[in-house]
Structure 1
Amino acid sequence: MSQAIIPIFRIFDYEKAVTFYVDWLGFSIAWEHRFEENAPVYLEITKGDLRLHLSEHHGDATPGSKVLIEYPNLKKFHEELTAKQYKYMRPGLEEAFWGAWTVNMIDPFGNRLEFFERKPADVAS
C-alpha cells in the first residue's frame, strides 16, 4: 500500500503562484480544477516525488503554514534558484543546528517552505 502526505497551501493569486512555484521553483502543474469559470482554483503541483496542493478556496488551509521538504542535492538546487534571479526572493543556503543544510523561503501568500538535506553523520555538528 502506498501512502503520501500532501500539504495544502492557501493561495490568493493564480498567476503569482505559477510564477513562484512553476517558473522559479521548477514544479509542474499536474492538474487543476475550478467548479466554474470564475470560481477559485484548486491545483496539484509536482517536482519529482514531491506533491503540493494549492487552493484559492477560503476553507482550505491557513496562510502562513510551513512545510519541511527533505531534498537531495540541496546545494545544486540552491545554485539553480540563485541563477534564476527571482525578483522577490533570494534565499541563502544555511547550516542548521540540527545537522542539515537548509534553504528557507516564503511564497507570495506567506506560506513557508524549508528545503533541507541532512549532513552525513561524520560531518554533523
Structure 2
Amino acid sequence: MRISAPVPVLRVFDVDKAYEFYRDYLGLDIDWEHRFGPDFPRYAQVSRSGLRLHLSEHHGDGTPGTVVWIPVADVYALQAELAEKEYRYAAPGPPEPGPGGPGFAVTDPFGNVLRFAQPE
C-alpha cells in the first residue's frame, strides 16, 4: 500500500490576501479553487515544486498559528529570493542552525508559520 505525503490545510480568513502572500511573495501557483456556492467560503490548493498546501476560509478547517516544516534543497537560495522581494509584511532573516538543518521562517497574514529548512 502506498501512502502519499500529507497536504497541510491552513486556515485563512481571506483567500485574496492569502494569494498575495503565497502566490505573489512565495511564488506558489494557484492550482485550483472551490466553493460550494457564490457566497460560500473558498478552499484552494497552492503549490511550488514538491510543496502543496490547502488554504481554507471554512470555519473549523485548521487553526491559525499552525506551523509547517518544509524541506528545501537550497535554503540559502530561497531566503535570498524572498529577501529581494518587496513584501511589506515579511522579511526573512538569514538561515540559522536548527533541528533538521539550517532554516528560516516566515509567517503568513493569518499567523501560520512556514519553516523552510535544508536537511543535513
Q: Report the Cα distance in structure 2 between the residues aligned to 1:98 and 1:39, rounded to whole angstroms.
A: 40
Deviation at 1:2, TM superposition (A): 5.2
* Structure 1, unpaired ranges of 5+: 120-125
Q: Which has more strand, going by share of residues?
A: 1
* Structure 2, unpaired ranges of 5+: none
% identical equivalent positions: 44
Residues 78, 36 of structure 1: alpha-carbon distance in 2 compared, 3 angstrom cutoff:
same
Query: Residues 1-125 of structure 1 correspond to what in structure 2 (within 5 A)?
Result: 1=2, 3-98=4-99, 100-119=101-120
The count of aligned residue pairs is 119
Q: Report the Cα distance in structure 2 between the residues aligned to 1:91 and 1:61, rounded to whole angstroms.
A: 24
Q: Report the Cα distance in structure 2 between the residues aligned to 1:88 and 1:109, rounded to whole angstroms.
A: 11
For the 8 Å contact 2:96–2:104, the answer to whether it is kept is no
Q: Report the Cα distance in structure 1 between the residues aligned to 2:3 and 2:28, rounded to whole angstroms.
A: 22
Q: What is the TM-score normalised by the length of structure 2?
A: 0.93
Q: What is the TM-score normalised by the length of structure 1?
A: 0.89
Deviation at 1:59, TM superposition (A): 1.3
Cα-Cα RMSD: 1.3
Larger radius of gyration: 1
Residues 53, 13 of structure 1: alpha-carbon distance in 2 compared, 3 angstrom cutoff:
same
Q: Give the 3-state SS of the residue equivalent to 2:80 in structure 1.
A: helix
